[in-house]
Amino acid sequence: MKLVTAAQMRALEAAAEAAGTPTTELMQQAGLSAAQIVWRHIDGEPEHPVLILVGPGNNGGDGLVAATGLREVGADIHVYLVRPRPDSDEVWRAAQDAGVPYTIVDDDQSFEALDALLSDAVCVVDALLGIGAQFSDTGRPLDGAIADVLAHLEAAREQNPRLLLIALDQPTGVDTDTGYADPHAVAADLTICFGLAKVGLTQSPGRLLAGDIIVAPLELPPAAIEALPYDEVDPRLAARGVVPRPADANKGTFGHATIAAGSTRFPGAARLSAEAAARSGAGLTTLALPAVVQPLVAPSFPDATYEPLPSQAGAMRGAEAARALLRALDGTDALLVGPGLSLTPATEEFTRTLLTGLDAVDGLDAVVLDADALNALSKHRGWPAWSSVPRVLTPHPGEMARLLGCTIAEVQADRLKIALLAASETQSIVILKGAGTVIATPDGRAAVSRIANPVLATGGTGDVLAGLIVGLIAQGAEPFEAATTAVYLHAMAAANIDREFGSAAGLAQDLLRALPAARRTLDEM
C-alpha cells in the first residue's frame, strides 16, 4: 500500500481534477465512504446518536457529506460547526436541504450545547482539520474554538471511555507528514484515510493517536499512485525479498553470509545475528570473531563456521584483524559488520581498514553496517568514499544522530525526512529503526512500517534484524528488498512472541524461535 505526504496527496487530487474528477466529486466519495463506515460501527442503529465536529475546510466538507449520507439512511445525526460555513458552500447547502440538525459554536464560546451533544452521543466524528494543517513543536499550537472543542471532547472521552471517536483522514492536531501531535490532539479509535494512508500515521505519536486505520478508496489516477515513492511495509512488499528455494538446492544455492562481530563484553550480539542469518535461509553463515571470543560462542551455535581473528583486550586487534578478515572473504556474498564489536580505537581502525579493502573482494554483493561499526564511522565524515560496495546501514535514532551530526530530537521530529537525507548523503540503503521503522534509498524511495511492538524494545533485537538482512542478501535479494523483508519478519516474529509471552517477557533470543513461522507466511504467498 502506498503512503502519501500532504503535498503528494494534493498533487494526486490535482491529477484527478485534470483527468476529469473534480475535487467536489472526491469530497462526495470521501464523505459517503465515511458515512458507510460510521453506520457499520454504530451497528446501523438509528437510535445511536452520532455527533460530527465540522471544521472550516475540506475536512469539514467531508464531514458534512458524511452527515448528509447518514441522515438519508435514518441515523440520529447532529453537526457541530466551529464556525459558520458560507451559503455558497455546496455541501453545506446539501446538508441543510437534507434536514441535518446543526449547532454553530456560540459567540461567547460557552460550549454548553457541545457538552450536551457529547453527553448524548454514542459516536463522535472528528472532521475539524485535515491534511491542510501542519503542526510542529516550533510552530503555532492549536488555539481558539478548535482547541476548545478538542478539550471538551477529551473531557467527554474521560467521562465516557466507551464513546467511539472516528477521525477523518487524521486526528485533528496530528501532522500529516511527521506524526507530530499538538497537545490538544485527542486519540481516535479509528481513522478513515481517504485515498491513501498518510505518512504521519506511521510515526509516533501520530500512529498511536490514529487507532485502527481504514483506507477508503478515491477515484485517483492509478499511474500517479503507482509513481509515488513511499510504500507501507506489508506482506506483498516483504515477499519481494524472498528467494525461491528449489528442491534440488544445496547450501551453495543460498549464499554465504559472513558476520564480523563480538567482543568479550558483547558475545551474545554475534550469536544472535548469526542465528538470524541462518534462520533467514542463508546456506552458510560464518562468524568472524576475536579469537578470544570464539570459545564463548561456538559451543552454543554449531551451525556456523568460524573465522577467529587477532584480538586484544577482548576485541578486534585493529588493522591486523581487518586484513585477516579481508583475506578470508573469498566466497562471501554478503558481509555484516558491527554487532557487539565495542567502540574502541582498535574497533575504529578495524572498521576503517576493512571498508577500504572491500572493493578488492570478488563477489561481495553488499555490506551491512550496524551498531559499533556505525559509531566508528560517525567520526569520519568522508567514510562513504572508502568503498563502492553497496551498503545497508541500520542505525537506531542515537546512531543516526551521530552519523548526521544532529540531535536525537531532530531525528525523531521527522524520521522519514532524516532517513532519506542519510540515504542520500551516504549513498546507502538506510534503515532508521524504532516505532515506525523507515527504510530509505539514495534515489528517494522509502518503505515505512506501521508496526511497533515493545517486544523489540530490548537488547539484542537489533542484532537479530541485522542478521536477517545479511542472510537475505546472501541468498540473492537486492539490498532494499532484503531490508524490507527483514523489517517485516522481525516485526511479525515480535508479534508472535507478544501473543505467546506478552510484551514484557519477550527476549531477543525468542525472536529466533519465532522467525520460522513468520518466514513461512511469506514462503506460502
Q: Examine the fold and report which residue of 228, 259, 285 is the final residue of a domain before the chain moves on.
A: 228
Task: Please tell me whether residues 221 and 251 are part of one structural domain.
Answer: no
With contact defined as beta carbons under 8 Å apart, do 218 and 28 qualify? no
pLDDT, position 106? 79
How many domains, the chain?
A: 2
For 298-315, write each residue's pLDDT tens digit.
Answer: 999 999 999 999 999 999
pLDDT, position 391? 98
Task: Please tell me whether residues 255 and 203 are part of one structural domain.
Answer: no
Low-confidence ranges of the chain (pLDDT < 50): none
Question: What string of H, E and C letters represents the secondary structure of 53-98?
Answer: EECCCHHHHHHHHHHHHHHHCCCCEEEEECCCCCCCCHHHHHHHHC
Helix (H, G, I), strand (E, B) or coil at 238: helix
Task: Please tell me whether residues 180 and 293 are part of one structural domain.
Answer: no
Task: Please tell me whether residues 242 and 221 are part of one structural domain.
Answer: no
With contact defined as beta carbons under 8 Å apart, do 316 and 294 qualify? no
Which residue, among 388, 401, 393, 7, has the nearest Cα to 229 in the 3D structure? 7
pLDDT, position 452? 81
Question: Which range marks the domain in which residue 46 is found?
Answer: 3-228
Task: Please tell me whether residues 450 and 384 are part of one structural domain.
Answer: yes
pLDDT, position 243? 87
Count of C-beta atoms within a 10 Å radius of residue 61: 27
With contact defined as beta carbons under 8 Å apart, do 118 and 152 qualify? yes
pLDDT, position 334? 98
Residues of the chain with pLDDT > 90: what percent?
91
Helix, strand, coil shares of the chain as percentages rounded to 5?
Answer: 45, 15, 35
pLDDT, position 132? 86
Task: Please tell me whether residues 125 and 99 are part of one structural domain.
Answer: yes
Task: Please tell me whether residues 312 and 167 are part of one structural domain.
Answer: no
pLDDT, position 251? 85
Number of helices (H), then strands (E), in the chain: 20, 21
Strand order in the sheet with 429-432: 230-232, 446-448, 438-440, 429-432, 391-393, 366-369, 334-337, 256-260, 284-290, 305-309
Task: Please tell me whether residues 167 and 314 are part of one structural domain.
Answer: no
Q: From CA 330, how far away is CA 363, in angstroms rounded?
A: 8
Q: From CA 189, how far away is CA 211, in angstroms rounded?
A: 5
pLDDT, position 510? 95
pLDDT, position 110? 81
Q: Examine the fold and report which residue of 210, 228, 246 is the final residue of a domain before the chain moves on.
A: 228
Task: Please tell me whether residues 154 and 198 are part of one structural domain.
Answer: yes
CATH of the domain at 135: 3.40.50.10260
Give the strand pairing for 164-168 and 284-290.
Answer: unpaired
Grid look-up 545479511 returns: 470
pLDDT, position 523? 83
Q: Examine the fold and report which residue of 180, 200, 228 is the final residue of a domain before the chain moves on.
A: 228
174-198 residues labelled b (16+ CB within 10 A) or e (exposed): bbbbbbbbbebbbbbbbbbbbbbbb
Peptide bond into 205 cis (omega under 30): yes
Q: From CA 321, how far away is CA 347, in angstroms rounded?
A: 10
With contact defined as beta carbons under 8 Å apart, do 179 and 171 qualify? no
Task: Please tell me whether residues 72 and 133 are part of one structural domain.
Answer: yes
Task: Please tell me whether residues 224 and 307 are part of one structural domain.
Answer: no
CATH of the domain at 272: 3.40.1190.20
C-alpha cell at 281: 535461509
Give the strand pairing for 429-432 and 438-440.
Answer: antiparallel
On average, the pLDDT of the chain sits at 95
Task: Please tell me whether residues 285 and 183 are part of one structural domain.
Answer: no
